[in-house]
Amino acid sequence: MARYRWYVLAGAGVLATALLAAAVWWWLRPESGQEPRARVYREFDICVLMPGDGLADPEAAAVWAGVQEVSLAQRVRALYLPVAGEQTPERAAQFLATLVTQECEIIVAVGGAPVAAVATNEAKHAGTTIVAVGDEIENSSHERITSSTVDVLTELVPPA
């Protein structure tokens, strides 16, 4: 009889452990209505080339807000790159080339030097969709935004 008591106690211990594990799982399980902790983005990048002031520049900050809105709505990645150093078209062209090398599907140029870099280097990057914000580009094949960044980018981003 003592021999069977050991099996009964071991079985009760296993059952108690299983019940405890089930209770902990039930208590820690995610609720069905919760927002996921991480967003899943498509393989599509919108990149903003902006002046050295970065988001302190009001025009660049407004464009970045529009790009983020499109990023959330379309589930595409967004990043920005301020032109470091002197604010010349030649220097901005180096940063534009960086974004092209990173294979950004859409590049948005905002500010004097970045927009001028787009105007002077459009032949080099003919295969990339580049959008310039403002009226600085004359006779350019690239799209110019003078109104809503969101509207233009929403049209350029392909549906999922």
For residue 41, the model assigns a pLDDT of 86
Q: Which residue has 């950004």 as its token pair? A: 104
Q: What percent of the chain has pLDDT over 70?
A: 85
Which tens digit of pLDDT belongs to each residue from 41-61? 899 999 999 999 999 999 899
Q: How many Cβ atoms from other residues are within 10 Å of residue 16's Cβ?
A: 10
Name the phi and psi angles at 146, rounded to 5.
-125, -5
Measured distance CA(42)–CA(78) in Å, rounded: 11
Q: List the domains of the chain with CATH numbers.
A: 45-156 (3.40.50.2300)
Buried b / exposed e across 80-114, counting CB within 10 Å, b at 16+?
bbbbeeebebebbbebbeebbeeebbbbbbbbbbb
Residue 93: pLDDT band with limits 50, 70, 90:
very high
Which tens digit of pLDDT belongs to each residue from 112-134? 999 999 888 877 887 888 888 87
